[in-house]
Structure 1
Amino acid sequence: MRKITLYLLLIIPFFISCQEARKDELTLKVLATTDVHGALFPYDLVNDEVSKSSLAQAYTYISKERSKNDQSVLLLDNGDILQGDPVVYYSNFEKPNQKHICAEVMNFMAYDAGTVGNHDIEPGHEVYDRLVNEFAFPWMAANAVKDSDGTPYFTPYTIIEKEGVRIAVIGFITAAIPKWLPEKIWSGIHFEEIEATAKKWMAIVKEKEKPDMIIGLFHSGMGEVDGNESGVVENETFKVAKDVPGFDMIVCGHDHQEAIKWVENTDNKQVLIINPKSKAQFLADVTVSFKLNADKKTYSKKLEPQLIDVKALPVSKEFEERFKTYFQEVKDYVSRPVGRFTKCIKTSDAMFGDSPFVDLIQNIQLDLTGADVSFTAPLSFNTKIDSGMLYVRDLFKLYRFENLLYTMNLTGQEIKDFLEYSYDKWFHQMKKKTDPMLFIKSSEKGNQLSTMFFNYDSAQGIDYELDLRKEKGNRIHISKMSNGEAFDLNKTYKVALNSYRGNGGGGHLTEGAGLSQKELIERMTNSTTKDLRFYLMKWIEEQKVVNPTCDNNWTVSPEAWWKQAKEREYKLLYGNN
């Protein structure tokens, strides 16, 4: 009895002190980045010029806020940092035995938690498994689940304590990854829809952790705005915020939007959704004011969000000094000569018809695979590679993404249906020559394409015509193979295309050619082991001198309509450049 009494005497003051530690009022600051895509340093290594935004600038603001009260600041990242810039490509693939630059930078910046994005999965197991161990903070994705035992592959959530307040942060990744990436990249994992997983982990977190605040880190786009559903499986944030009560705020991303929105959930409570766009252009800043309720146990909260324009911030000298050696190493890497181009090529031409830029990629894909037909799209809206010496940095202009190169078997009919689908989302049906040709929208930001140009797939290896006057699904006429042989709708052809398209990305093979996800796997006969950019680089190095040409294997009719529309719409999109 004396021992029990002594034990109680020891622990009662502890509980009293904990209860007393809960302040009547306090303020915390939640800062967050999303879709940084390698924008670590204030320099554009691809175009060899100073860039507008970077984590080096965001760190200036983060440091200033911490200087006020370090214990009151949470710093979070919402995924997609491992692709999109030579800085991270170099660390992913050229220096795999060194600590990853993202771990070095983000640990230095003292992130509290992060979520895995789809472009963090794309570099492959070796890269993201390595980062899990190198990050000094939990890297989360509750809905990325092990096939073996049904437990999360990454950390599902974390608890962060600040000023006596317990904050739960739950991370999620878009469930659409299998549509875009080959299975070997995510082997052993399956991706469950966010809503079901959020309900599961919300219940666990509430019961086990008793948090004062719950933050969602959703690497998933809004998906639904003002009740209009749009791609729920890929972009679930709005629906989950509404239908899964418990979140006080959600940092979303993936769709590269700049947004602050409030959603009323099914408990009639307001949930904040904030999205700081991409490439470290903005920093999400949410001031959270806590006020202790009458029960002296729970807090009421007031959230005041803003987006900090990182472009307006100076570079942190501490950050710059810390990483200058690594930066110079990557700068030297991208400055290495690869080969020589005899003429300038640009993607603006590729928006309107066959072009030297796209034909170069098509011909390399055909050469590498020995395929009969190649599909590809212009992967940049307005990129130019000048004539003369080509450097490693130019390969990031020529091919933006780390896709693999696939070879698949498709019938002639499936090739035609693939193209019908592509051109229906690229060119309007025109009733007269003054009708719009491309899908262009106007806004305060100017004229922009309203459909996604990276889905504007054309073909090489066949000769064909697009008739602008014809109705949907009946606009493509394939006359022959480009080598002079007859084209047969019933024959099976070997087709080269990138892994994004080969896994169903964009819908060309699924909605267009009518193949199931199972059939996509069955039709694939070969895949490269390294990204397509690597093989493009090696091909150009072997050629030494490349003469980019356009063979005009596909044309648009009526030609007079096409020429007039191209002239006026080029000016709409690109001015007089």
Structure 2
Amino acid sequence: MKFKTKKILSLIVTLSLLLGIFVVPAMANAEDTVKITILGTTDVHGNIYNWSYEDAKANESVGLAKVFTVVQKVREENPNTILLDNGDTIQGTVLTDDLYNVNLDEPNPVIAAMNFMGYDAMTLGNHEFNFGLDLVNKIIEEAEFPMLSANTYKRADDTHYVKPYIVKEIAGVKVGILGLTTPSIPRWDGAKVDSLYFTHMAEEAEKQIKLLKETEKVDIIIATAHSGLESRHEEDGGDAVKLVIERNPEIEAMLIGHDHESIARMEGNVAIGAARDQGRQVVRIDLTLQKDGEGWKVIEKTPSLIEVVEFEASEELKEHTKVYHEATLEFLKETLGVATDDFHPASEVKGIPEAQVRDTAVIDLINTVQLKYTGADIAAAALFKNDSNIRKGNISFNNIFDIYKYPNTLVGVEVTGKELKAYMEWSAAYYNTYKPGDVTISFNPNIRGYNYDMFAGVEYKVDISKPVGERIVDLVFKGNPVKEDDVFKLAINNYRYSGMKDMGIINGEAYLETDPISLRSYIADYIKEQGTISPEVDNNWSVVGADLNHPLRDYIIEQVNKGEIQVPVSQDGRTPNVKALNVYELAAEGKIPAELAKEHGLLPTEEPAPEPIPAPAPVEEPKVEVPAGQKYTVKAGDVLWKIAEQFGLAWEKLAEFNSLKNPHLIFPGQEILIP
């Protein structure tokens, strides 16, 4: 009896599913409406498995295996689903950058995964070009879906490098899908893309949308753009999605990226979506369309984001790409050498990375490698992660990946002393200007850490009391002050070389380019050659112009490390330590106990109210009573810089004249000599 009941229930469920397949579309047709779902990924950066190769452990927040589970569920919900990728897809992990992107004889694992997932199209991003056009041509050939980029052209014949758009019919709706790529690629990849040129995104979109409407007769247009909303690199706004939207109101929905931001909202009349990197999120845009004569019109748009951490990874996709994953794990097992100690010291102040406030062994290691393999006089490098470190113990390739995330190549170029100084001044803009009362050094919130270069081969100081452009002092090469007409060989990565040339800071042509061998590979080779490496620091540079020795500094740092005082970060969270901790500001905010603040003259002391006396007749008095060469008696609430300001002096001069060991420690009744 139970078997019969189960059989009847099974028949009912099957009939219900069949009715759902045949009846629902009939109802939709009767109502002349249809729903199309767009799913989009962007900036996946080579993450297939839910795994971190750098940390050798699972990461449940990332990977195409997670994305595929989302895709399957949405496709079950709505078969009228379009799956798009927005670029920066094949680069970014050890699996891609150090194995399969440099071996063109093997299938590309990311493309293999995307074929399995059934992508409808992919727009090229800037990082697709990092390894040259041979790799891009290879993935175009291997992909079972079209690659798009309307604004990328071949110089030889002015034809499109890949398709500008595709037209896809879904549920009777003719959909035009347009692809756009940030035109700033030549800045970063230089000679690798010499055979191509990239046009203004908004202008190109106008041309292609006209074709889509008039020639292709599409019902709706959706677009993908590997670029951010605002212009970041192009003076004419050629890389700004906002401009694309303003000039092309025909676009109904748009997948964007490049900035690794989470966006799901309406921008004008366009539904836009952007996801964080590594496959952490999937963009979803639902469009409801209604029959309009012989065509269709969109009557509702809903952009949203799906977090992949909430879904299990697809075992099907993991099995399909297992051979690539296991080959990477084997590659990472190799021991390259041994570190006798950590190369990045622990932070004195929680939230302030040491490697960007003083010279450390981790940046000296990178610069040593650059000098060795280029034969240069001077090298410059940045840290891509604030906590980059070679830790004590065995060193494997994932440790190299941790200190040098990207597959940048090495460039050697001759520069003049004038160019070198301009480059160093550009870098030194990373620091905020010191002000009296600061007890920490802080960073410009508008400059990422990867744009702060530290130099080897020269000795120098960065004076943060001076304005931007005047900070590099005591610049010396082999014991001699650097002169404007001196000529040096400089080692930098290809990304920085392109940027410096584009800004006109460096003008020379490269005498050495290691493409396609990455700096990361040279670091690995160096460690293999050495066998055992120890953290060595030459302390060739320092930050000056900041007196951080206020007597309350230790207390403030203790409170920070306890979590009672926070070191500010930028609004987007990507730049740490964007504002110095200042004793006067902390006292005013009540973050220093009143007793301590009063003890150190940070708050006015309580004094008995004076006896009332008749008001004297008003007389004009000079602003400063004490002439130069006399004494000034400190009153409650005075600080040295305010006293100095009264006499038109710099507080440093006043401190020096009075031989003040701690210029921030003055007290009521103390006499200050005025020079």
Residue 484 of structure 1: aligned partner: 479
User: Which one-letter code corresponds to 2:511 in the other structure?
Assistant: T
Residue 346 of structure 1: aligned partner: 344
Q: Contact conserved, 2:357 with 2:543, CA < 8 A, in 1?
A: no
Residue 609 of structure 2: aligned partner: none
Q: Distance in 2 between matches of 1:561 and 1:122?
A: 43
Residue 59 of structure 1: aligned partner: 68
Q: Distance in 2 between matches of 1:489 and 1:433?
A: 36
Q: Distance in 1 between matches of 2:172 and 2:31?
A: 8
Runs of 5+ unmatched residues, structure 2: 1-27, 346-352, 570-575, 578-675
Q: Contact conserved, 1:410 with 1:523, CA < 8 A, in 2?
A: no
The question of 1:375 aligning with 2:414 is answered no
Q: Which moved more, 1:341-350 or 1:255-264?
A: 341-350
Residue 153 of structure 1: aligned partner: 161
Name the structure, 1 or 2, with higher relative contact order (CA <8 Å, separation 6+). 1
Aligned positions of 1:404-443 closer than 5 A: 404-424=409-429, 426-434=430-438, 437-439=441-443
Residue 211 of structure 1: aligned partner: 218
Scaled by the length of structure 1, what TM-score is found? Answer: 0.86
Residue 319 of structure 2: aligned partner: 321
Aligned positions of 1:462-501 closer than 5 A: 462-481=458-477, 483-501=478-496
Residue 11 of structure 1: aligned partner: none
Deviation of 1:115 (Å): 0.3
Q: Which moved more, 1:164-173 or 1:523-532?
A: 523-532
Q: Distance in 2 between matches of 1:247 and 1:263?
A: 11
Aligned match for 1:364, one of 358, 362, 369: 369
Deviation of 1:230 (Å): 8.8
User: Which one-letter code corresponds to 1:414 in the other structure?
Assistant: E
- The structure-2 alpha-carbon separation of the partners of 1:465 and 1:209, relative to structure 1 and needing over 3 Å to count, comes to same
Deviation of 1:479 (Å): 3.9
User: Which one-letter code corresponds to 2:139 in the other structure?
Assistant: L
User: Which one-letter code corresponds to 1:196 in the other structure?
Assistant: E
Aligned positions of 1:48-197 closer than 5 A: 48-51=56-59, 52-70=61-79, 72-183=80-191, 185-197=192-204
Q: Distance in 2 between matches of 1:412 and 1:437?
A: 28
- The structure-2 alpha-carbon separation of the partners of 1:139 and 1:322, relative to structure 1 and needing over 3 Å to count, comes to same
Q: Distance in 1 between matches of 2:238 and 2:440?
A: 31
Deviation of 1:486 (Å): 4.5
- The structure-2 alpha-carbon separation of the partners of 1:541 and 1:50, relative to structure 1 and needing over 3 Å to count, comes to same
Q: Distance in 1 between matches of 2:108 and 2:322?
A: 15
User: Which one-letter code corresponds to 1:357 in the other structure?
Assistant: V
Deviation of 1:485 (Å): 4.3
Q: Distance in 2 between matches of 1:90 and 1:526?
A: 21
Q: Which moved more, 1:133-142 or 1:344-353?
A: 344-353
Residue 106 of structure 1 aligns to a residue whose secondary structure is: helix
Deviation of 1:464 (Å): 0.6
Q: Contact conserved, 2:152 with 2:199, CA < 8 A, in 1?
A: yes
Residue 243 of structure 2: aligned partner: 239
RMSD across aligned positions (CA): 2.5
Q: What is the CA deviation profile of residues 514-573 of structure 1, one whole-angstrom value per residue up to 9, with x for unaligned ones?
A: 34xxx3xx4321111211111221122111111221111001114642896996889727
Q: Contact conserved, 1:556 with 1:562, CA < 8 A, in 2?
A: no
Q: Distance in 2 between matches of 1:297 and 1:427?
A: 57
Q: Distance in 2 between matches of 1:251 and 1:286?
A: 9
Q: Which moved more, 1:396-405 or 1:484-493?
A: 484-493
Deviation of 1:297 (Å): 2.9
Residue 69 of structure 2 aligns to a residue whose secondary structure is: helix
Residue 248 of structure 1 aligns to a residue whose secondary structure is: strand
Q: Distance in 2 between matches of 1:543 and 1:23?
A: 74
Q: Distance in 1 between matches of 2:546 and 2:311?
A: 50
The question of 1:539 aligning with 2:526 is answered yes
Q: Distance in 2 between matches of 1:435 and 1:206?
A: 62
Deviation of 1:489 (Å): 2.5
Residue 458 of structure 1: aligned partner: 454
Deviation of 1:261 (Å): 2.9
Q: What is the CA deviation profile of residues 493-525 of structure 1, one whole-angstrom value per residue up to 9, with x for unaligned ones?
A: 110000001001xxx5554x634xxx3xx4321
Q: Contact conserved, 1:462 with 1:478, CA < 8 A, in 2?
A: no
Q: Distance in 2 between matches of 1:91 and 1:363?
A: 25
- The structure-2 alpha-carbon separation of the partners of 1:324 and 1:86, relative to structure 1 and needing over 3 Å to count, comes to same
Residue 13 of structure 2: aligned partner: none
Q: Aligned residues, how many?
A: 526
Q: Distance in 2 between matches of 1:342 and 1:188?
A: 47
Aligned positions of 1:242-257 closer than 5 A: 242-257=246-261
Deviation of 1:223 (Å): 0.7
Q: Distance in 2 between matches of 1:238 and 1:410?
A: 38
Q: Distance in 1 between matches of 2:505 and 2:99?
A: 39
Q: Distance in 1 between matches of 2:210 and 2:549?
A: 58
Q: What is the CA deviation profile of residues 141-166 of structure 1, one whole-angstrom value per residue up to 9, with x for unaligned ones?
A: 11110101111101111111111111
Residue 395 of structure 1: aligned partner: 400
Residue 335 of structure 2: aligned partner: 337
Q: Distance in 1 between matches of 2:216 and 2:354?
A: 57
Residue 300 of structure 1: aligned partner: 298
- The structure-2 alpha-carbon separation of the partners of 1:560 and 1:35, relative to structure 1 and needing over 3 Å to count, comes to same
Residue 502 of structure 1: aligned partner: 497
Q: Contact conserved, 1:223 with 1:232, CA < 8 A, in 2?
A: no
Q: Distance in 2 between matches of 1:199 and 1:562?
A: 60
The question of 1:526 aligning with 2:526 is answered no
Q: Contact conserved, 1:406 with 1:496, CA < 8 A, in 2?
A: yes
Q: Distance in 1 between matches of 2:259 and 2:489?
A: 34
Aligned positions of 1:214-293 closer than 5 A: 214-223=221-230, 233=237, 235-264=239-268, 270-293=269-292
Q: Distance in 1 between matches of 2:149 and 2:361?
A: 42
Structure with greater proportional strand content: 1
Aligned match for 1:384, one of 367, 370, 389: 389
Residue 267 of structure 1: aligned partner: none
Residue 67 of structure 1 aligns to a residue whose secondary structure is: helix
Q: What is the CA deviation profile of residues 368-413 of structure 1, one whole-angstrom value per residue up to 9, with x for unaligned ones?
A: 1111111111111223331111101111112111111001111112
Q: Distance in 2 between matches of 1:362 and 1:88?
A: 25
Structure number with bigger Rg: 2
Q: Distance in 1 between matches of 2:343 and 2:463?
A: 26
Scaled by the length of structure 2, what TM-score is found? Answer: 0.74
Aligned positions of 1:561-572 closer than 5 A: 561=548, 572=567
Q: What is the CA deviation profile of residues 39-87 of structure 1, one whole-angstrom value per residue up to 9, with x for unaligned ones?
A: 11100011111112211111111111222343x1110000001211112
Q: What is the CA deviation profile of residues 109-164 of structure 1, one whole-angstrom value per residue up to 9, with x for unaligned ones?
A: 00001100000111111211100000000011111101011111011111111111
Residue 249 of structure 2 aligns to a residue whose secondary structure is: coil
Aligned match for 1:39, one of 47, 51, 62: 47
